[in-house]
Amino acid sequence: MKEVTISELERRFQEKIDNDIKIEPKDWMPEEYRQTLIRQISQHAHSEIVGMLPEGNWITRAPNLRRKAVLLAKVQDEAGHGLYLYSAVETLGADREATIDDLHTGKAKYSSIFNYPTTSWADMGTIGWLVDGAAIMNQVPICRCSYGPYARAMVRVCKEESFHQRQGFEIISLLAQGTPEQKAMAQDSLNRFWWPSLMMFGPNDAESKHTAQSMKWKIKRSTNDELRQLFIDVTVPQAEMIGLTIPDKDLKFNEETGHYESGPINWDEFWEVVKGNGPCNKERVDARKKAKDEGAWVREAAMAYAEKRKERSAIRA
C-alpha cells in the first residue's frame, strides 16, 4: 500500500469540498474539520434543547386549546431537532452524553437568545417570528453544508420548522391587532427580543474567529453580517405591516443600497450573556442538569431490565 502524506490527504479533501462532493462519516477529514463540526453541531443541538425551556415555560398557561397543542408540538419538534443533531454529532465519534455533559459544565455554548426570560404570552409569538425566523436564515444555508449527516439533518429540521415561524407570526399579529392590552403586550415583547434576535447571528464578521476557515470548508455558507442584514431587511416591513415599532431609533431605509441601516448592537451585552451572565443562563442549564440527574434511575432501570431479559432468553435458549 502506498503511503499518502497528510498534505496530500488534505489536498484531496479540499478538492472534494471545492467540487461540492459531500464528506461522509468514515471519510478522511482533517482533525480540525472534525472538531469544528463537533463544536458547531453540538452547539446547535444544545440550542434546540435549551431552546425548549423558554417556550416550555408557557405550555401550561397557553390561552386556549389550539395554542396549547401548537406550542406543545413546536417545543416537541425542538426536542426532535436536538436529537437529529446529536445523531449527526455521534457520526463524528463524539458520544451524545459526553457532549451533553459539556453543556452542563458550561464548556459548550448554545444560542444566547435562550438566556432571556419569557415573561408574557406575546413572547411565544415573538420567539416564533423573530427567533425562529433568524434560526431559519442561519439554517437554510447549512442544508448545503459539506458534511453529509449535518446537511441531511438540517434539511429535515428546515422542513419541520416552516410552521414554527408562521405560528409565531400568527400569535403576534393577532395581538398587534387586538385590544390595547394585547397590543402593549406585543410591543413590549418586540422591545425585549429585537436586539437579542439580531445578536443571534453572532459577532460582526471582523470579530468572528471561525468564519474564514468554516467558509472555506463549506461548513458555513454565509457570513454573520450578511445573514443579519437579510434578517433586518425582511423583518422590518413585517413589523410595519402589523403596526409594531422596531425599537431602534437609528433604523432607516437606504434607497440607494436597498437595505435598512440599523443602530449599533450592544456587543458588551452579547459577550456577557455568552459568558454566562445573562438573565437566565443559570436557570436554563440547571433545568437541563436536573432533568438528566432525576432521569438517571430511569435510564439505569431500562438498561438493567434489557440486560436481565437478554440473560433470561440466553438461559432459555
Partner 1 sequence: MEKNTDLFEYVLRMGDDSLILGHRISEWCGHGPILEEDIALTNMSLDLIGQATNLLEYAGELEGKGRDGDALAFLRYDREYKNLLLVEQTNGDFGKTIMRQFFFDAYRKLLFERLIKSTDIQLSAIADKSLKETKYHLKHTSEWVIRLGDGTEESHNRIQESLDALWKYTAELFFANEVDSKLLAAGIIPSMEGLQEDWNEIVSSVLEEATLTIPTNNWKQEGGRIGRHTEHLGLLLAEMQYMQRAYPNMKW
Partner 2 sequence: MSNKEWPLWEVFIRSKQGLNHKHVGSLRASDAQMAVDNARDVYTRRSEGVSIWVVESNSVFASEPTDADSLFEPANSKAYRHPMFYDVPDGISHM
Subset of 237-266 contacting partner 2 (CB under 8 A): none
What is the pattern of x (binds partner 2, CB under 8 A) and - over residues 8-37? ----------------x-xxx---------
Q: For the residues of 244-276, what is the DSSP string, one character each?
A: ---S-TT-EEETTTTEEE-PPP-HHHHHHIIII
Q: Does 44 bind partner 1 (CB under 8 A)?
A: no
Min dist CB 43 to partner 1, Å, is: 16
SS3 303: helix
Which of 39, 59, 101, 265 binds partner 1 (CB under 8 A)? It is 59
What whole-number distance in Å separates Cα of residue 164 and Cα of residue 160? 8
Kindly determine how many residues on this chain lie close enough to bind partner 1 according to the rule CB under 8 A: 48
176 binds, among partner 2, partner 1, none (CB under 5 to 8 A by kind): none
Classify strands 252-254 and 259-261 as parallel, antiparallel or unpaired: antiparallel
| Among candidate residues 55, 90, 60, the one with its CA nearest the CA of residue 74 | 55
Q: Which secondary structure element, helix H or strand E, spans residue 144, and what is its range?
A: none
Environment class of residue 279 by beta-carbon count within 10 Å: exposed (0-12), middle (13-18) or buried (19+)? exposed
Cell of residue 317, nine digits: 435458549
Q: What does 27 bind: partner 1, partner 2, none (CB cut-off 5 to 8 Å by kind)? A: partner 2
The entry of partner 2, partner 1, none near residue 84 (CB within 5 to 8 angstroms by kind) is partner 2
Distances (CA, A) of 84 to 31, 150, 208, 310: 23, 9, 27, 29
Decide if residue 243 touches partner 1 (CB under 8 A): no
- From the CB of 223, what's the least distance to partner 2, in Å? 29
Residue 244 interacts with partner 1 (CB under 8 A): yes or no:
no
Across the chain, where does the E strand assignment appear? 252-254, 259-261
CB of 78 to partner 1, least distance (A): 9
Q: Which of residues 83-102 bind partner 2 (CB under 8 A)?
A: 83-84, 87, 90, 95-97
Sites of contact with partner 1 (CB under 8 A)? 49, 52-53, 56, 59-69, 72-73, 75-76, 79-80, 82-83, 86, 121, 171, 174-175, 178-179, 181-182, 287, 290-291, 294-302, 304-306, 308
